[in-house]
Amino acid sequence: MTKDVIALTPKMPDTGALLAALHAGGPELGLTATDDGAVLQLCGADGRPLVSVEAPLLVHTPGEAERLLGSPAGVPAPPYWWTETRASTAVPAAESLAGSVCGRLTMLLGGTTWPPGSGHTARVATPDEGARPSAASAPVVPVVDVLTYSTAVVLADRPVVPLTAWLSDLLRATARSDRAFHLVTPPHVRLTLPLRAALGGTPNRWVVQDPAGGYHDGLSGVRLFWRDGTFAPPGTEVADAFTSRVTPDGHRQLTVSFRTVHAPAADLELGGALEAAWRHLTGAPPAGWGTAEPVNLPWSRRQLTEAARDRAPAPAHLVVIGTPERPAIATHRVTRTTAGVAEDTTLTLGYTAPDEVPLDALEALADKLVTEHALTTMLTTLRRARADLTLPPHLEPPPLPIAFTLGVRDVRTTGLTHARRPPLAVRPRQLGPATAPALHYPLGDGTDAAAWTALQVLSDHLKAGSPA
């Protein structure tokens, strides 16, 4: 059963339209908001959240509705407004209430609702009474499906589950409350790479409901059971459903993970290395950026820098997206360190055939980032995985290292003579000026698992180094 309903409208949901939408269940429903006002929630008479309504986003980025929702009919041309609602599964009427909220918005503002046919304008009757929430079940954020002392569980059924502002808030809230976050989906659901990165590892999980019964972990395939208020594996058995499906033949994902560090300065503009890598590998700049998905803002290094400064000294976590014609997505983290302002970028690009992967462009990219953007390290990997950059709940081979680059500062710390002589068959290539070189280490072409052994040997060798 779908629990998310989205209104896509060409006009802004102003105060009048939002009030009309929020009266879908009548004026007797309660209305609360998060501290920053980014999420509103309609609550029943017992105080339980029924529907959460995220602040409308103005989406400038082409292809976001298609990327995250499939190909819904009637999507307005960018820029358009994306208003996302989520219904609680605890109250049967909540889904219809969410559909009425979105249906009223599209009636007043034009556009369409997703899923198709979910929008309507009828007033929805909701129960006056219900079980009063206990301390264990009181929501830490709006509309959690199951909450125990150890785990917050969210049920999701949509083609692709993105890292929405609501899910991002939920992940932070569960961490603060020392709870695990478990996302439960049917087997046809996929995750975006930013959500996969945000989930991290244990105790958080992606739980897939097996069509043959039972549950398994969407990342490892290990069977799971619900016990003592959480999903846990009884052993190491892997579900058949996890290994029986395969990634489309020939699809590849190239991932370039790199760090740059800059001296703090009033005129420092961030995102330069990310944009340079994007242009080098795709021939165009990024299309958009944002703090969550859908990615709604047109690409702007100035605005990205302002957002990072607004969050300082806390880290800024950002998502960057490419055009539909050239699938690429990046997570970008900005932090203040003792060495300066650090930018950590993981850029992934999708290809439908192995010969499309630009392996011969990687050394030149490393040289550009070293000489122009203060690169400290860069690791490039290749894996057989979906070209559309979504993550399915079945086995995909692990990535294989292609190359590693050590920047000028770390070469100096390790010692140039030592860093030049790893116990590998292939010698590193010197980048940048001879007086302050960086080193680029080729490790493979993405077809041989022995590249992991080579990377480990290289890492151990560099750690053992010392300045010459």
Q: What's residue 30's pLDDT?
A: 80
Would you state the pLDDT for residue 352? 95
The confidence score (pLDDT) of residue 339 equals: 85
- Give the pLDDT of residue 139: 44
Mean pLDDT of 324-332: 94
**What's 424's DSSP letter?**
S
Rounded to the nearest 5°, which phi and psi values hold at 452?
Answer: -65, -40
pLDDT higher than threshold 60 for residue 290: yes
Place of tokens 């560090």: 261
- Residue 465: pLDDT band (50, 70, 90) is confident
Mean pLDDT to the nearest integer, 359-373:
97
pLDDT greater than 70 at residue 128: no
Q: How far apart are CA 371 and CA 272, in angstroms?
A: 12
Percent of the chain with pLDDT over 70: 94
Quick: pLDDT tens for 28-37: 788 777 656 6
Q: How much is the pLDDT for 137?
A: 42
Per residue in 171-212, pLDDT (tens digit) is 988 999 999 999 999 999 999 999 999 998 889 999 999 877
Tokens, residue 172: 């932070």
> Could you write out the DSSP letters of every residue in 253-269?
EEEEEEEEEE---TT--
* Largest Cα–Cα separation, the chain: 76
N-terminal to C-terminal alpha carbon distance within the chain: 64
Tokens at 247, concatenated: 């990634």
Does 256 score more than 50 pLDDT? yes
Mean of the per-residue pLDDT values for the chain?
90
Counting every residue written for the chain, the total comes to 468
Of these ranges, 124-138, 152-166, 274-288, the one predicted with the greatest mean pLDDT is 274-288
Q: Is 130 exposed, middle or buried (0-12, 13-18, 19+ CB in 10 A)?
A: middle
Please tell me which residue, 118 or 72, carries the higher pLDDT value: 118
Residue 233 has pLDDT above 70, yes or no: yes
Convert the pLDDT of each residue in 413-429 to its tens digit.
999 999 999 999 889 99
Structure tokens at 143: 């509309």
Question: 415 to each of 320, 420, 465, how far by Cα in Å?
Answer: 35, 9, 6
Please list, in sequence order, all residues whose beta carbon lies within 8 angstroms of the beta carbon of residue 305, skipping any fewer than 6 positions away.
268, 269, 270, 271
CB 198 within 8 Å of CB 171: yes
Residue 361: CB atoms within 10 A of its CB come to 12
In this predicted model, which residue has the larger pLDDT, 144 or 15?
Answer: 15
Q: Which of 5-14, 42-51, 101-110, 307-316 has the lowest mean pLDDT?
A: 42-51
pLDDT exceeds 60 at position 136: no
* Residue 1 binned pLDDT confidence (cut-offs 50, 70, 90): very low
Q: How confident is the model at residue 466 (pLDDT cuts 50, 70, 90)?
A: low
pLDDT tens digit string along 37-82?
A: 667 778 877 777 788 888 899 999 999 999 999 888 889 999 999 9
Whether the per-residue pLDDT at 102 is higher than 60: the answer is yes
